[in-house]
Structure 1
Amino acid sequence: MVAPLSAWPWENLGNFKYLLCGPLAVKVFHSWNYEGTIEDHWCLHVLLICALRGLIHQLWSSYGNMLFLTRNRRIIQQGIDFKQIDGEWNWDNFIILQALLASMACLIFPSLNSLPLWNTKGFITLLLLHVAVSEPSYYWFHRFLHESNLFNHYHSLHHSSPVPHPFTAVHATFLEHLVLCIVIGIPMAGSITMGYGSTSMIYGYFAIFDFLRCLGHSNVEVVPHELFNKLPFLRYLLYTPTYHSLHHTQMGTNFCLFMPLFDAMGGTLNSNSWQMHKKISSDSGKNGRVPDFVFLAHVVDITSAMHVPFVFRSFSSVPFSTRIFILPLWPFTFLFMLVMWAWSKAFLLTFYNLRGYLHQTWVIPRFGFQYFLPFAMEGINKRIEDAILRADRIGVKVISLAALNKNEALNGGGTLFVEKHPNLKVRVVHGNTLTAAVILNEIPKDVEEVFLTGATSKLGRAIALHLCRRRVRVLMLTLSTERFQKIQREAPMDCQNYLVQVTKYQAAQNCKTWIVGKWITPRQQNWAPSGTHFHQFVVPPILAFRRDCTYGDLAAMRLPDDVEGLGSCEYTMERGVVHACHAGGVVHQLEGWTHHEVGAIDVDRIDLVWEAAMKHGLRPVSSG
């Protein structure tokens, strides 16, 4: 049975919960459009305060997830996984609750509608009431919640988040937030009752209260320890992220709201608080743990650039798709990307742990279309080279290149960098061997004939050679007889006749297995017979035009179940799924292979890489 007041009243409404604030918006709209003024302007203030509070939490979330800025200041190094993100999905429930209570207060006390803009005495009164009433009230209530029965029914929800985050600050039960409303309301109500209230006081108190709550839960130490060395008394007046993180790891200590003074008076101050804060603050200038593996990704387009944890954490935790709410952010994203271009180097985006090894994703701030501009190729290769040399310098074992970063026309599938720097200790991997293995293992064993587009590409060549060894007839679509014959000569003598050059799509009108490595139009798809299955390794994927045919996904693999700290999706992939080239680099690192995987695919290694991936718990993902 659910404990009383533990669940939120609108828990089952989903996104319709925001309609609870609808009457406020309707009232503002009506007053503005039909009365020529906002007579009941308290409705507008409530909505603005709601927006302000949401913005504060979102900005702190964005900052905390900017790993390229905060990686050396993180207190708990563990990543935030999907389970925690889902648990904190409705973190904004408290905003709705306090908006409804504020609306009720404004209706009951109409005088709130006529508060002055500023009153200095109000701020002083507010501060005194906060220190004298709110801080001790919260401290004792917080300790009370840690009693076994209350903790299990109420407060355990808050502590179910293993890694503190600004959204964790408000991840609590309905009862806890009702009490928190009282903690926040007493100073403001007292100041207003004494005749010292003001609009700026209300805005300011809400903003500072939320700012400090997010600060404590940010998991990023931003308070320099030198401040406490110069002004020792400040350590009792303002908590730090390190101070509050100890409450989440050692729950019998550090209960205060914002002021450690009350922990000191109550005998619950953790004795390691200041030492730990000093250590983390001092080490912020040093490099943290070196990753064992790096996946060097790139941006596809402006909208997909917003599919990162430091924009909207919840959005990045689901497969990418264009949503209406991200379109207004397009100009800001473009400006941010200009800053990234000026910065010019790859920056850390995400990380996760697998079998005790640290895996990171770095991103080259270049859009997909730039890779096809001749004048931009040199600059892009320079950025990729810098990332590889940086990985080599800090001790990374394997760096894997994403799709366009290993483009054959750009750098020969990574060959350019290996030849230019023959003494690299980091292994450069394009991962295409596993990509080929995924596609080949999707094809049923009883298939006798396939039609292959993009047949002379790196992947097309490997797939064709592997299939002909299986005695599968491969119709290779290519206009270049020279390139076809070169590939044909690589096949064993008794298999060469299984490779057949074709120059038109009509040649495949009786073949029900298409492997698409070059984008094909709906008109070209029409040559496929009914019941055809389209396997594909083309980016972007082809349009699912034929209803009488089936379409496979891009080659991808699901990471092992023991992966930790993974909380974002790789572009359009499902949770826990990465592109096969990414997975290929992971296998390379887990196996401890010491060779570079660049240039042409070694067909003899396709089955070996596949077996290694299966051994380490990776699994293929396909709708085919």
Structure 2
Amino acid sequence: MENNKKFCNIPNKKEAPLFGWPWENLDSFKYLLYGPLVAKVIYAIYKGEIKNDIWCLHILILFSLRALVHQLWSIYSCMLFLNRTRRINQHGVEFNQIDAEWHWDNFLILQALVASFLYLSFPSLAKFPIWDIRGFICCLIFHIGISEPLYYWLHRLLHSSNLFHQYHWLHHSSKVLHPFTAGHATFLEHLLLCVVVGIPTLGTAFIGYGSISLMYSYLLAFDVLQCLGHCNVEVFPCHLFDNIPILKYIIRTPTYHSLHHTDMGTNFCLFMPLYDKLWKTMNTNSWDLQREISSRKTSRVPDFVFLAHVVDVMSAMHAPFVFRSFSSIPFSIKPFLFVMWPFTYMVMLVMWAKSKTFLFSFYNLRGKLFQTWAVPRFGFQYFLPFAKEGINNQIEDAILKADKLGVKVISLAALNKNEGLNGGGLLFTTKHPNLKVRVVHGNTLTAAVILHEIPQDVEEVFLTGATSKLGRAIAIHLARRKVKVLMLTLSTERFSKIQKEAPVDCQKYLVQVTKYQAAQHCKTWIIGKWATPREQYWAPSGTHFHQFVVPPVIPFRRDCTYGKLAAMKLPDDVEGLGSCEYTMGRGVVHACHAGGLVHYLEGWKHHEVGALNVDQIDVVWEAALRHGLKPL
């Protein structure tokens, strides 16, 4: 068989027969296909006759467990803080691959329907005992003697030029292996896989040795091994194969299968490399590469780090290692989150007590590695007085770790640079004056984004959080533009100090106000401090609320419009990005994240901490545009 690598990214313009799934137009409504089984089980329970339809219940339980197996492997595969040194392909899974594999579980529906059909056609087969050791022995013989070689030759056949171009290219179109990639194939291929799976299970049942435990064990073990091969993390230590050499022909390691996706003329086996050895298709680099990856102690040092934090319990479930599909779209409240809330809350307590900063996600830009680390602290914890020291210690540890590794720039997210917490990062640069890593709060670009959202013809704005770092910079910059700024603050002293920083001829544009009522005729509000519904009520109809408050205000006014937190779209040449940053769209990051990125790309050697340099706002904005970042 020839190496089909040249066909990998060339989809057939006209779909071949049995390429698509019969229910692909149903989208999420495809799960209604389980409806008859669910209805039958509910009706049997209601009638007290569940023993007569027990296999309908088993099918539902078994296929729920199979889906859980894939999900758990997905969680492990995406836990970069656990497995980053043993990742085989160092790139991240991108949005287009996630979208392509969105319906990875179609094969579970297919096999559940096939199982239901067989149950209805041969009800006597379903009268299994709980356990029969003879069945396990027979099933193993059927699998090794029939299913393994059958899969091997079917797989080689699918790699022939014609069939690969019509069908198998879809599976190989996934650039980075992931447990869900195991199910990403055409309808025809999964029909063939039904035969491969059915031979050991049905064969054992037909000769009278079937059992409930066998059905569960074989199908779950099959899925575990499929996910293992596609997990992109080498889980086996090399010394295992040195001590027991025969395992090289019994176990398909993740590295072994990954080579099939880079050199498609080799490593065709299902789970046993023995058949590649017998028919001379084993990649000669298989075990050297496995040794190299499994022995790796360090991973590539990132050039830039964004130090994020969790906002709340709900948003914690938006992490890439929880639900990959959910994290690939902007965060919003979904019904399933409420079901998981108690468990997530317990995890939060453990993280609060024990956890350290962990690697959250990464992407590549122009050959450089950019990572997001996360401090395991939730938004409300930043406002607890007794938690201040502990949070600062964790941020400091992350900065020192980045400095030790050789990271060039570390940028602090929202609450990690809170003025009351650490003075916008000034605490750390003062305490550690010899840091090589540049600490950046990114607020300069945040201010630039907000200022460029305000139309040039605006003559008056209302500003809350007016004496904060961002509020001060925005007020002075607007005053220079001859825009009247109503600064909401009770502190005349702080207001006067900011007013004196503005040019003499611009100071008159800064006006102190102490009540929201003062802005009842101003239609441009910049919210830097949480505003209640009652406070928002004072805005006239048609007002637009710009904001830099964390968390953002709740949009109560239907006759007004609300801007999102300041953000920018990453350059088009970003690679490996597959998760959204909180509520931001795909490829969009908070302005403070983008600000740190610009700091690194420009090669600036200064720290950006403490008060904002108003003169740098336009400089940073122009640099961001020059490097391909785009305003929304």
Pairwise CA distance, 1:38: 3.7
Give the corresponding residue for 1:270: 283
Pairwise CA distance, 1:545: 2.5
Contact 1:78 1:163 in 2 (8 A): yes
SS at match of 1:41: helix
Give the corresponding residue for 1:9: 22
Residues 184-195 of structure 1: matches in 2 within 5 Å? 184-195=197-208
Work out the CA distance in 2 between the residues paired with 1:232 and 1:246.
20
1:218-275 Cα offsets, whole Å, 9 max, x none, are 0000011111111111101111000000001111110000111111111111010011
Residues 213-232 of structure 1: matches in 2 within 5 Å? 213-232=226-245
Candidates 596, 600, 617, aligned match of 1:585: 596
Candidates 42, 60, 75, aligned match of 1:29: 42
Contact 1:436 1:459 in 2 (8 A): yes
Pairwise CA distance, 1:344: 3.1
Work out the CA distance in 1 between the residues paired with 2:65 and 2:537.
54
CA RMSD of superposed structures (Å): 1.0
Candidates 240, 246, 256, aligned match of 1:243: 256
Judged with a 3 Å threshold, the aligned counterparts in structure 2 of structure 1 residues 503 and 342 are, in CA distance, closer, same or farther, namely closer
SS at match of 1:39: helix
Contact 1:398 1:589 in 2 (8 A): yes
Candidates 289, 296, 301, aligned match of 2:300: 289
Give the corresponding residue for 1:554: 565
Pairwise CA distance, 1:343: 3.2
Work out the CA distance in 2 between the residues paired with 1:38 and 1:187.
25
1:187-213 Cα offsets, whole Å, 9 max, x none, are 111111111111111110001111100
Return the letter of the residue paired with 1:499. L
Pairwise CA distance, 1:512: 1.7
Pairwise CA distance, 1:513: 1.3
Quick check: 126-135 or 542-551, which moved more? 542-551
SS at match of 2:589: strand
Return the letter of the residue paired with 1:371. Y
Quick check: 136-145 or 527-536, which moved more? 527-536
Work out the CA distance in 1 between the residues paired with 2:184 and 2:166.
14
Candidates 366, 369, 372, aligned match of 1:361: 372
Return the letter of the residue paired with 1:591. E
Q: Tell me if 1:177 matches 2:210.
A: no
Candidates 207, 224, 228, aligned match of 1:211: 224
Give the corresponding residue for 2:328: 317
Contact 2:439 2:608 in 1 (8 A): yes
SS at match of 2:305: strand
Give the corresponding residue for 2:490: 479
SS at match of 1:475: strand
1:592-613 Cα offsets, whole Å, 9 max, x none, are 1111000000000000000000
Pairwise CA distance, 1:340: 2.4
Q: Tell me if 1:134 matches 2:147.
A: yes
Contact 1:292 1:359 in 2 (8 A): yes
SS at match of 2:52: coil
Quick check: 329-338 or 202-211, which moved more? 329-338
Work out the CA distance in 2 between the residues paired with 1:606 and 1:170.
49
SS at match of 1:167: helix
Contact 2:418 2:424 in 1 (8 A): yes
Work out the CA distance in 1 between the residues paired with 2:515 and 2:348.
42
1:393-438 Cα offsets, whole Å, 9 max, x none, are 1111111111111000000000000000000011111000000000
Structure 2: segments with no counterpart, 5+ residues: 1-13
Give the corresponding residue for 1:435: 446
Give the corresponding residue for 1:488: 499
Work out the CA distance in 2 between the residues paired with 1:231 and 1:545.
66
Give the corresponding residue for 2:159: 146
SS at match of 1:314: helix
SS at match of 1:484: helix
Instruction: Give the TM-score taking structure 1 as reference length.
Output: 0.98
SS at match of 2:631: strand
Pairwise CA distance, 1:333: 1.4
SS at match of 1:554: coil
Work out the CA distance in 2 between the residues paired with 1:321 and 1:382.
31
Work out the CA distance in 2 between the residues paired with 1:318 and 1:366.
23
SS at match of 2:364: strand
Candidates 85, 110, 118, aligned match of 2:98: 85
Work out the CA distance in 1 between the residues paired with 2:43 and 2:537.
55
Quick check: 103-112 or 428-437, which moved more? 103-112
SS at match of 1:201: helix
Count of matched residue positions in the alignment of Structure 1 and Structure 2: 619
Contact 1:40 1:113 in 2 (8 A): no
Q: Tell me if 1:198 matches 2:204.
A: no
SS at match of 1:557: strand
Return the letter of the residue paired with 1:65. C
Return the letter of the residue paired with 2:250. L
Q: Tell me if 1:412 matches 2:423.
A: yes
Work out the CA distance in 1 between the residues paired with 2:42 and 2:523.
59
Give the corresponding residue for 1:302: 313
Quick check: 602-611 or 334-343, which moved more? 334-343
Contact 1:344 1:383 in 2 (8 A): no
Instruction: Give the TM-score taking structure 2 as reference length.
Output: 0.97
Work out the CA distance in 1 between the residues paired with 2:319 and 2:53.
40
Residues 458-607 of structure 1: matches in 2 within 5 Å? 458-607=469-618
Work out the CA distance in 2 between the residues paired with 1:195 and 1:363.
55
Q: Tell me if 1:350 matches 2:384.
A: no
Work out the CA distance in 1 between the residues paired with 2:360 and 2:346.
18
Pairwise CA distance, 1:540: 2.0
Q: Tell me if 1:168 matches 2:181.
A: yes
Structure 1: segments with no counterpart, 5+ residues: none
- Runs of 4+ aligned structure 1 residues displaced above 4 Å come to none
Contact 1:471 1:498 in 2 (8 A): yes
Work out the CA distance in 1 between the residues paired with 2:231 and 2:528.
45
Pairwise CA distance, 1:561: 0.8
Pairwise CA distance, 1:36: 5.5
Work out the CA distance in 1 between the residues paired with 2:150 and 2:49.
44
SS at match of 1:451: strand
Q: Tell me if 1:103 matches 2:111.
A: no
Pairwise CA distance, 1:334: 2.0
Give the corresponding residue for 1:42: 55
Judged with a 3 Å threshold, the aligned counterparts in structure 2 of structure 1 residues 428 and 227 are, in CA distance, closer, same or farther, namely same
Residues 57-72 of structure 1: matches in 2 within 5 Å? 57-72=70-85
Work out the CA distance in 1 between the residues paired with 2:189 and 2:105.
14
Pairwise CA distance, 1:465: 0.5
Work out the CA distance in 2 between the residues paired with 1:167 and 1:475.
54
SS at match of 1:303: helix
Pairwise CA distance, 1:96: 0.4
Judged with a 3 Å threshold, the aligned counterparts in structure 2 of structure 1 residues 339 and 530 are, in CA distance, closer, same or farther, namely closer
1:304-341 Cα offsets, whole Å, 9 max, x none, are 11111111100111111111112121122122223323
Contact 1:28 1:38 in 2 (8 A): no
| Identity across the alignment (%) | 71
Return the letter of the residue paired with 1:266. W
Pairwise CA distance, 1:51: 0.7
Q: Tell me if 1:19 matches 2:32.
A: yes
Contact 2:125 2:206 in 1 (8 A): no
Return the letter of the residue paired with 1:110. P
